[in-house]
Structure 1
Amino acid sequence: MQALSPALASWLADAILISHVAVVLFVLLGALAVPIGAWRRWRWVRGFRWRLTHLVLMGVIALQAWLGALCPLTVWEQALRRRAGEAVYRESFIEYWLSRLIFFEAPWWIFVAAYSGFAAFVLLLWWAVPPQRRAGKVS
């Protein structure tokens, strides 16, 4: 197998960053959608698989924070940027703007507290707005 070209590595790093933003939006907007959807009687917010995915993802994020581990998406993106020969300070347009939306400079404990609190909120939503399995379906 031939090694990635720097241009392809840079493009893949941008694609991973976009995916990372999508994960962040899924977690944040999902947590907002559940209580709003319960109030508005949207049936999809009680979907079991969707809610389980949301809960497990937030649990993994909180666990990574407790362990001091970087998100695999961050690790892959950084490796690809190094492969592309991109310096830390040199950023593409996509990287520049999307990174500023999801990455912040703060002490480690702030992230642990924030992720843990958000995970507790998602778990509370599981109890307050319980998901429902479809009748007649075995998952």
Structure 2
Amino acid sequence: MRLQRIVVCMQTLYSLLADAVVFLHGAYVAFVIFGLLAVLVGSLWGQRWVSNFWFRSLHLTMILVVVIESWLGIVCPLTTLEKFLREKAGMGDYTGDFIGRWVHDVLFMDLSPATFTVMYTLFGLSVVATLIIVPPRWPWRKSDSRTADDISG
């Protein structure tokens, strides 16, 4: 009886961890998508933070990881981890809670791998284009706020 409770507790733990991985995966996707929208809208509204070098570098790196994985046919490590945890939880197919199920369904639309590769590549190219349209501020270039009159006079 005690062993059965331990098994149930472990399965519940694995299930919760799998749900956490799905939410992490969703947060990753949201950051990539909404990061691009934030840069575009923020630049129109004159928001300086959208040119932050570290934010822009992280954003570019995250979409490049997705594009490269797609080109090489590598399954996302978060997907692999979630499947592993679901198997350990004794779950064959996805059976998480309502929000977890919704996030999962959004992340794993039923499209061909080639379609995803094209979508990821086009999105990655749009992120690269924003680096030209809204260039980041380089941290090693100190902006001199003094005017020519201040320097000469």
Fold match (TM-score > 0.5): yes
Code of the residue aligned with 1:33 in structure 2: it is: A
Contact 2:71/2:117 (8 A) holds in 1: yes
Match of 2:114 in 1: 109
Q: CA deviation at 1:74?
A: 0.8
Q: Unpaired segments of 5 or more residues in structure 1? A: none
What percent identity do the matched residue pairs reach? 36
2-structure distance, mates of 1:46, 1:19: 25
- Indicate yes or no: 2:58 matched with 1:61: no
How many residues are aligned here? 134
Alignment of 1:1-139 (within 5 A): 5-88=10-93, 90-134=95-139, 136=142
**TM-score, length-normalised on structure 1?**
0.89
Q: Report the RMSD for the aligned CA atoms in angstroms.
A: 1.7
Q: Unpaired segments of 5 or more residues in structure 2? A: 1-6, 143-153
Of the two, which has the highest radius of gyration?
2
Contact 1:5/1:84 (8 A) holds in 2: yes
Contact 2:70/2:116 (8 A) holds in 1: yes
Task: Report 1 or 2 for greater relative contact order, CA contacts < 8 Å, sequence distance ≥ 6.
Answer: 1
**TM-score, length-normalised on structure 2?**
0.82
- Structure 1 runs of 4+ aligned residues shifted over 2 Å read 89-95, 133-136
Contact 1:14/1:94 (8 A) holds in 2: no
